[in-house]
Amino acid sequence: MSDVAQFTPQTTEAIARARQHSLGDLLRRTALRYPDKLAVVAGERRASFAEFDAAVNRCANNLAAKGLEKGDRLALLSHNSWQFAVLAFATARLGVVLVPVNFMLNAEEIAFILGHSGAKGMVTEDALAPTAEKALASAGLSGGVRGWIPLSGAAPTGDWEDVDGWIDSGSSEAPDVLVADDDPLRLMYTSGTESRPKGVMLSSKSLVSQYVSCIVDGGMSVDDVEVHTLPMYHCAQLDCFFSVDVYLGATSIILPSPEPARLLETIEREKVSKLFCPPTVWISLLRHPDFDTRNLSSLRKGYYGASAMPVEVLRELARRLPDVQFWNFYGQTEMSPLATILRPHEQLPHAGSAGRASLNVETRVVDDNDNEVPPGEVGEIVHRSPHAALGYYNDEEKTAAAFRNGWFHSGDLGVVDANGYLAVVDRKKDMIKTGGENVASREVEEALYLLDGVAEVAVFGISHPHWIEAVTAVVVPKQGVELTREQVDTHAREVLAGYKRPKYVVFAESLPKNPSGKILKKDLRVQHAELANEV
């Protein structure tokens, strides 16, 4: 008989309740510590932690009254908002699995997620309601919970109910639901490269252990004032930053998008001390005319992820924001999402690196047989950690492949140096195979960023009758700068081996990006696929 088995079921449940440390508990405990402290600023709303906690309880109780129970899935289609923040914790209080949906998807793509997840309800912002209705119809779903977030002020129509009514009315008592550490609470659909996205199941254990790694290795504290501009449907903004701020008792400023002028104005007005952006957004801030006119002196902590920061941009940030310390967060959704961190004192000495494994993570680089490779050799990046997801929802085959031999296989290629610093060479899918040689697109991008006048660049491969794949670069010049193909070619000859130099160079005013700031290379591949056919 095990030590636990000696207890009655009632005693066992009482112990479980006493030990409960789920996502839904974090806000309540913070509200008990700092009831009057400013928790969330979203538009005109300024809520203390006590007010935030009460709103979450009211919303949870209303969802329960509508029939949602532990284990049910609720889809959420919305830009960042007060209502999004409340729903993220209200669902967790009930043990309901939140399914955040990318608002850039079309109705058919959303319909797949609704059907695959088995969603028992859906919440949408008003401007996205027509897309939501098409998705529900395509998925063949009727009835269930229907929530309407009035971000643009439109009143609900049809079966939709105003979410503000759920939040502002009803009982503020906490719902009595036992949520275990590894009960799934989030179902995050990957943007992926496959025809269908995978549903990544995250639990409180995954998330809270990841929060601890973020706090310790990311230098986060209760005194932070952070602005959240990247979409909260993605776990980078939601779980590396917003939920961590709630856990700590830091203040969160929520914006619907990373529009540069509004973001810079918000930093100045709210005296923001902490900001996460992917490199593309940091670049947009640096290039905006307001950057040098706004008072950004409150900013002390800067974070980036999604892709490596070009070394030249990192140096520019160090010059123009000399009082800001920077961290590079690397990971993936299946790691909740943090895996490795490059810390402030490591930024320039190890520029381009993803750093080393964070507090609760082990990271290795392995060959195709899962044998660890020596320093300097390229292999696949794998992790072992409580951060790791519970697996892919309703997909045994992909789960078994991703977690084979007891490690999560990231699909990223990397190399570790003699000091243990990880460099992400590329996604397996982004490695360009040209003329029998492998070319890492990121290496070529780093080289082209050294050319004066380059604001942004994306490098990828397109099908070619001779080279199999041809290295192709789309270059965005800095404002007011004219670049020529000859300038790019001359520079490339100076810094790159012949087989790595772009065969095709295209100039553009901007690069296509998803709401998380990642450059959409798959769109660029399609857009420029015919270059090899041109004379």
Report pLDDT digits (tens) over 131-141: 999 999 999 99
Tell which wins on pLDDT, 189 or 441. 189
Mean predicted confidence (pLDDT) in 420-444: 78
pLDDT digits (tens, 9 = 90+) for 223-255: 999 999 999 999 999 999 999 999 999 999 999
Give the residue carrying structure tokens 């900001």.
Answer: 275
CA pair distance 409, 332, nearest whole angstrom: 10
The DSSP line for 103-139 is: TTS-HHHHHHHHHHHT-SEEEEEGGGHHHHHHHHHHH
**Which of the four pLDDT bands, split at 50, 70 and 90, describes residue 193?**
very low
Tell which wins on pLDDT, 526 or 215. 215
Least confident window among 26-30, 256-260, 411-415: 411-415
Q: In 3D, which of 291, 274, 253 has the Cα closest to residue 326?
A: 274
**Mean pLDDT over each residue of the chain, to the nearest integer:** 93
Q: In 3D, which of 201, 190, 112, 196 has the Cα closest to residue 392?
A: 201
Contact 423, 354 (CB under 8 A): yes
**Which of the four pLDDT bands, split at 50, 70 and 90, describes residue 174?**
very high
Contact 291, 317 (CB under 8 A): no
State the pLDDT at residue 106. Answer: 86
Domains, in order of start, for the chain: 49-179 (3.40.50.980), 205-427 (3.40.50.12780), 435-533 (3.30.300.30)
Is the pLDDT assigned to residue 436 strictly greater than 70? no
3-state percent helix, strand, coil for the chain, nearest multiple of 5: 35, 25, 40
CA pair distance 318, 305, nearest whole angstrom: 17
**Which of the four pLDDT bands, split at 50, 70 and 90, describes residue 1?**
low
* Cβ partners under 8 Å of residue 526, min gap 6: none
Give the residue carrying structure tokens 């044998």.
Answer: 371
State the pLDDT at residue 454. Answer: 94
Backbone angles phi, psi at 59, to 5 degrees: -65, -45
Q: CA 454 → CA 26, 426, 448, 483, distances in Å?
A: 44, 21, 7, 8
What pTM was computed for the model?
Answer: 0.84
Backbone angles phi, psi at 5, to 5 degrees: -65, -15
Share of the chain above pLDDT 90, in %: 80
CA pair distance 408, 385, nearest whole angstrom: 9
Look at strands 391-392 and 431-434 and give their pairing.
unpaired
**Which of the four pLDDT bands, split at 50, 70 and 90, describes residue 535?**
very low
State the pLDDT at residue 194. Answer: 42
Contact 124, 99 (CB under 8 A): no
284-312: burial string, b at 16+ Cβ within 10 Å, e else: bbbebeebeebebeebbbbbbbbbbbbbb
State the pLDDT at residue 137. Answer: 96
Contact 227, 272 (CB under 8 A): yes
Contact 205, 191 (CB under 8 A): no
Contact 393, 116 (CB under 8 A): yes
Strand partners, 301: 274, 325
Give the residue carrying structure tokens 């269908």.
Answer: 196
Environment class of 406 (CB within 10 Å of its CB; exposed 0-12, middle 13-18, buried 19+): exposed
363-393: burial string, b at 16+ Cβ within 10 Å, e else: bbbbeeeeeebeeeebbbbbbbbbbbbbbbb
CA pair distance 530, 510, nearest whole angstrom: 20
Q: In 3D, which of 226, 223, 199, 247 has the Cα closest to residue 101?
A: 199
pLDDT digits (tens, 9 = 90+) for 294-331: 999 999 999 998 777 888 889 999 999 999 999 999 99
Give the residue carrying structure tokens 């919305």.
Answer: 78
Strand partners, 76: 100, 123
CA pair distance 254, 80, nearest whole angstrom: 7
Q: Which tokens hold the place of 332? A: 């993936």
Is the pLDDT assigned to residue 476 strictly greater than 70? yes
